[in-house]
Structure 1
Amino acid sequence: MAIARRTLLTRGALAAVATAFGGLLPTSTARAAAGSAGTPGGKPTADWMSYLAPERSLLGLTVPGTHDSCCTDPAHGTEWSHTQNWGVPEQLTQGVRFLDIRCNGLQGTADELGIYHSDAYQYVRLQDVLDQCRAFLTSHQGETLVMRLKNENAGGQALDAAEFRRRVNHYLDDLGYRGLFHLYGWPTLGAARGRIVLLADFANDWGLIQWSSGTNQYVRTQDLWQTDQLFPLRVKGRAITQQFDAATADPDSPQMYINFLSYAGGLWPRTAEQTLMDQSVRPYLAARTGRAARYGIVPMDFPDLHVDVLQMLIDKNFVA
């Protein structure tokens, strides 16, 4: 039986997991953020997209991202809901271009959306995130962002499909954010620069680019976040590298490949991510440095602890 995402492991259970993984849990290899302004390939992290030709399709890029992008404080939930140390402005400055934004209704308001992890409010409003994105794009006009906007539909602030759509329209029209978004179809960089490409993870008949946790006409997603298989981080690691391989082998796909590096099934997100980076992701990317490939959108937990991986993903866009 799969371990529930929010089941708390005792200290003894964590030790048992470590034994089961045969030493796979991380040692001391965490990479600390050094505020780097440039990648090893020489591209400034705050403006790397500006070096790409405007006719390039977003589908042809490798786009580093974050999972549960606003979950920066374990006090707003638990350590299970702590997935990031950098806030959104720092993520964008460091090169992240995909944000995973999950909303419920904002308590005490009739029209607003708050950022949540399940039913845990992160004390960030949707307009806070949109204003941060707009400020970044105004200062870095060669860049674009992709945003998954999800109806989290959890807890006492859960919204049904119709109410969630109404509130999204409130943001687009009443609050004036419509012009910030590219809404329909995967664009070229030239068409999307200065805007947020919206990936809708909520029920609608508006013709938006539609999210899937599997496959649809717009995306092919790997998001294995828990499994009941033996050695689950090895299973997750294989899922990640297989998705990288699939994206490399399918360079002209009309679908965006999405490859979550995050895992939360019975382990702290930080622990799981460190092990996956050390055992699967970093060796895979390092062995393919200098090889042309596009990997699609790659969301991760704690990029501040894995700056080298974040920058390897950025540099992949400049390998001919």
Structure 2
Amino acid sequence: MKAGHKCLLFHHIVLSVIVLCHGQNLFFNDNGNLILPGSYNIPWMASIQNFRTLSLITIPGTHDSLALHGGPLAKCQAFSLKNQLRAGIRFLDLKVFELGDTLYVMHGVMYQRTTLKEVLDTVRAFLSEYNTEAVLIRVRSESFEKDMVNRMVQSLIGNDQHVWVNSGMPTMGQVRGKIVFLQKSTFTLGIPLIETNGKGSSKVTDVENKDKTIINQLSQAIEACGGDNAVMTYTSGTGFGTFWGMFLTPGRVAEKVNPWLNQYLRQFYPNQPRPCFGVIAMDFPGFDLIQTVINLNSW
């Protein structure tokens, strides 16, 4: 075999190994295609007892759930909304901007090519098909008149009985087939939300320090689970706006954090019962990482 052909073959083998390894360890995903295992059960919440309160469930979510556009500095997800829901995501983090009579989904100044109405329609369609599930939604206003967002969301909901806007903590049985809003700051519809993230925790200059921050946050989440509030931890981060982390885009942070997070969470599998972490909102979660979070719900 000629030297050139040997070199080409070597590179082909190396590339194949990289692709295979990536495919077997889907903790980080920057590919929009979702290939579900043939045996995968999409409605995973069906196995949760009706009497269990929502605040005692560990729920996989996404940070800036529809930040699919705008380049490496803005992009936080690869899966479309439909694919996120099918993969097991049950918490959505949405930033909206009011213009005229429409709430546009944004990430900073970047329009994410959809509206809140379209998002709600997609979630409703999913819940109509899989009515054992519930999808939690946090709305964050990027508008100048933040109170207007509350009124516009209420208008979109109307008298829909499949939307939970009460402040009381429901059981799983009470919210099956429903959208559950979470309230925080100026958004006042739904269950009160506690974040474990301290000030500046999303800024990353060193990924190892980010790991330590997440450990502290998840410890706080364990303590707060089971109360009258929903509890959420963001594992996302970016170095944008810092000097030492200027090249750490959300994707680069997630590429390092997600495999570590998967390993960290799996250490709790021998525990019976396993601890509750509330909502874990991630950037670029791969299918295997989402399943790791779901499987913490073992009592």
Please classify the TM superposition score into its range, dividing by the shorter chain length. Answer: 0.7 to 0.9
Q: Residue 72 of structure 2 contacts residue 249 of structure 2 at CA under 8 Å; is this kept in 1?
A: yes
| Aligned equivalent of 1:196, options 179, 186, 192 | 179
1:147 maps to which residue?
A: 137
Letter in 2 for 1:36: L
Shift of 1:199: 1.1
Q: Distance in 2 between matches of 1:51 and 1:37?
A: 19
2:209 maps to which residue?
A: 235
1:174-213 mapped onto 2 (5 Å cutoff): 178-184=160-166, 185-201=168-184, 203=186, 208-210=190-192
1:99-118 mapped onto 2 (5 Å cutoff): 99-106=92-99, 110-118=100-108
| Aligned equivalent of 2:82, options 85, 89, 93 | 89
2:218 maps to which residue?
A: 244
Q: Distance in 1 between matches of 2:265 and 2:146?
A: 40
Q: Distance in 2 between matches of 1:287 and 1:69?
A: 27
2:284 maps to which residue?
A: 302
2:18 maps to which residue?
A: none
Normalising by structure 1, we get a TM-score of 0.74
The alignment partner of 1:69 has SS state of: coil
Cα deviation digits, residues 155-187 of structure 1 (max 9, x gap): xxxx312322332232123xx6x4331011221
2:197 maps to which residue?
A: 222
Q: Distance in 1 between matches of 2:157 and 2:223?
A: 37
| Aligned equivalent of 1:129, options 99, 119, 124 | 119
Q: Residue 144 of structure 1 contacts residue 192 of structure 1 at CA under 8 Å; is this kept in 2?
A: yes
Q: Residue 63 of structure 1 contacts residue 314 of structure 1 at CA under 8 Å; is this kept in 2?
A: yes
| Aligned equivalent of 2:47, options 47, 51, 62 | 51
Q: Distance in 1 between matches of 2:225 and 2:121?
A: 34
| Pair 1:317 & 2:292 matched | no
* Distance 1:244-1:162 versus aligned 2 partners, 3 A rule: closer
| Pair 1:257 & 2:250 matched | no
Q: Distance in 2 between matches of 1:125 and 1:86?
A: 17
* Distance 1:263-1:168 versus aligned 2 partners, 3 A rule: same
Identity score, percent: 27
Letter in 2 for 1:276: V
| Pair 1:275 & 2:271 matched | no
Q: Distance in 1 between matches of 2:81 and 2:235?
A: 18
* Distance 1:160-1:138 versus aligned 2 partners, 3 A rule: same
* Distance 1:98-1:251 versus aligned 2 partners, 3 A rule: closer
Letter in 2 for 1:274: E
| Aligned equivalent of 1:64, options 55, 60, 64 | 60
Q: Distance in 2 between matches of 1:69 and 1:253?
A: 25
Cα deviation digits, residues 267-306 of structure 1 (max 9, x gap): 111110111123x312212322232111110011112xx2
Shift of 1:72: 1.4
1:286 maps to which residue?
A: 266
* Distance 1:313-1:197 versus aligned 2 partners, 3 A rule: same
Q: Whose radius of gyration is greater, 1 or 2? A: 2
Q: CA RMSD in A?
A: 2.3
Q: Residue 220 of structure 1 contacts residue 255 of structure 1 at CA under 8 Å; is this kept in 2?
A: no
Q: Residue 142 of structure 1 contacts residue 193 of structure 1 at CA under 8 Å; is this kept in 2?
A: yes
Letter in 2 for 1:160: E
Q: Please, which runs of 5 or more residues in structure 1 have no aligned partner?
A: 1-27, 154-158, 211-217
Q: Distance in 2 between matches of 1:254 and 1:165?
A: 22
Shift of 1:120: 1.0
Q: Please, which runs of 5 or more residues in structure 2 have no aligned partner?
A: 1-20, 241-247
Q: Distance in 2 between matches of 1:282 and 1:96?
A: 15
Normalising by structure 2, we get a TM-score of 0.79
Count of paired positions: 260
Shift of 1:247: 3.0
The alignment partner of 2:196 has SS state of: strand
